[in-house]
Amino acid sequence: MRGYFGIGVQGIHKEQNVGTLARSAHAFGANFFFTLMPQVDVHAFKASDTSDAFDHVPYHQYDSLEDMNLPQGCQLVGVELVEDSIELPSFKHPTRAAYILGPEMGDLSPKVQAKCDHIIKIPMHFCVNVGIAGAIVMYDRLISRGRFAPRPIRAGGPTETLPKTVHGHKIPDILGS
Residues 158-170 have pLDDT tens digits of: 766 666 665 555 6
pLDDT tens for 117-171 read 999 999 988 888 999 999 999 999 999 987 788 888 888 877 666 666 655 556 5
Long-range CB pairs of 89-92 (<8 Å, 24+ gap) are 89/123, 89/140, 91/118, 91/120, 91/140, 92/144
Global confidence as pTM: 0.84
Domains of the chain by start residue, with CATH? 4-148+162-170 (3.40.1280.10)
